[in-house]
Amino acid sequence: MTSRVTQASVTTIQQKPLAPKEVAADRVMTDDIFDESYREKEGPKPPMKIVWRNVIAMSLLHIGALYGLILIPSASFSTWVWSMFCSYFSALGVTAGAHRLWSHRAYKAKLPLRILLVLANSMSFQNDVYEWARDHRVHHKYSETDADPHNASRGFFFSHIGWLLVRKHPDVIEKGRKLDLSDLKADKIVMFQRRFYKPSVLLMCFIMPTVVPWYFWGESLKNAFYISSILRYASTLNLTWLVNSAAHMYGNRPYDKSINPRENLLVAFGACGEGFHNYHHTFPYDYSTSEFGWQINLTTFFIDSMCFLGLATSCRKVSKEVILARRLRTGDGSHRSG
Ligand SMILES: [Zn+2]
Ligand SMILES: [Zn+2]
C-alpha cells in the first residue's frame, strides 16, 4: 500500500514573500505522506481496552439525536434552517479548518479566517485542532496499519466510531509523538483553542445552538437543544466518520489502485467535498481534495470565496499533467472526465 507523492508537482496559485513568523506555517508538509518503511510489530496484538466513559457518552448522544429526530415536526422552520446553518458551519471548521488548513497546510489563512475556523471547529466538537491534525497526519502517514488511529482494515465499525471507544493502539501514540507539529505549536489561534477547548465547546456546540432559537424566535429550549445542538452534532459527526469508514471501503480508485481510500460521491456530498478520498490520499497537499473544483465540494467553494475576499492565499493544486500521468501509471482505469 503506497502513496507515491511528488512534492515538486505542487503548483501554487498565489505567492508572496514570507514574513519570518509565517515560516513555521509554510514548511513543506511531509508528515502526511505514506511511510512505506513502517512495519507492524510481530506477535499478538495488544488487548483492546474499552473506554466506558466514551461508550456511555456516545450512546447518550445517539439516543438524544434520535429523540431530536422525533421532535422535528414540532419545531419551527427557522429552527430547522438554523440547525442546517450550524451543521455546515461546524463542518467547515473540520474540512476547511482542521483538515485542509491545519493538517495538510494546503493553503494559508489570515487571522480573521483562522479565528472563524477555530470557532466553527469548537462547534463540531471533534477534539481540538492540534489533536485532530496530529491524528490525521498519522492516519495519512501510516494508513491502514496499527499506527493509523482509525485503521480501516479493522472493519467498518472500528474506522467509523469504534476507534473512539477504545484506547489507542500503542503505535498510534508512539508515531504521533514523533511527528513534527511545530507549525501547529507556532499558531497562536490553535494553541489558544487547545487551552480553552472545554469552555469553547460548551459555548459553541451546546449553548449557542440552543439559546439562539429560543431567544430570537421563541423556540422551546427542549426542541432547540435536541435538534440544533444534539441532532446536529451527532449527524455532523457521523458524516465526518463516513470519510474514515465508507470512503476507505466503497468506490473506485482512479488515481492509485494500490491504496484502500476510494472516490465516494455520496460521502463527498455528505461531508462537504471530503469523499474524493483516493485522490486525497494520492495528493494530500491539494487544497481541493479533488480535481473537479466546486463539484460536490462545498469546502473548495468556501476556500475559493475566502481567497476572493483576501482571507486565504497560496492554495496548493496538482497540475492536470501530473494527475494524468499518475492515473495512467497507478489508477484502476475508472477515471471520469468531470
Ligand atoms: Zn483517509
Ligand atoms: Zn487528509
Domain-wise residue ranges, the chain: 48-330
Query: With 0-12 CB in 10 A as exposed, 13-18 as middle and 19+ as buried, what is 8?
Result: exposed
CA of 310 to the centre of ligand 2 (A): 24
Residue 338 pLDDT class (50, 70, 90 cuts): low
pLDDT digit string, tens, across residues 248-272: 999 999 999 999 999 999 999 999 9
Buried b (16+ CB within 10 A) or exposed e, 273-301: bbbbbbbbbbbbbbbbbbbbeeebbbbbb
Distance (Å, rounded) from C-alpha 126 to C-alpha 99?
Answer: 12
Q: Which of 298, 321, 188, 151 has its CA nearest to residue 236?
A: 298
Closest ligand relative to 241 C-alpha? 1
User: How far is the CA of 74 from the CAs of 60, 61, 84, 185, in angstroms?
Assistant: 22, 20, 16, 46
CA of 93 to the centre of ligand 2 (A): 14
CA of 213 to the centre of ligand 2 (A): 34
Contacts of 128 (CB under 8 A, 6+ apart): 121, 122, 190, 193, 194, 197
Window from 104-113, 168-177, 197-206 with minimum mean pLDDT: 168-177
Residue 27 pLDDT class (50, 70, 90 cuts): low
Closest ligand relative to 243 C-alpha? 1
pLDDT for position 24 = 52
CA of 289 to the centre of ligand 2 (A): 8
Q: CB 90: neighbour CB atoms within 10 A?
A: 27
Distance (Å, rounded) from C-alpha 338 to C-alpha 299?
Answer: 18
Please state the φ and ψ torsions of residue 308, each to the nearest 5 degrees: -60, -35
Please state the φ and ψ torsions of residue 44, each to the nearest 5 degrees: -65, 145
Residue 114 has pLDDT above 90, yes or no: yes
CA of 72 to the centre of ligand 1 (A): 33
Distance (Å, rounded) from C-alpha 300 to C-alpha 306?
Answer: 10
CA of 272 to the centre of ligand 1 (A): 15
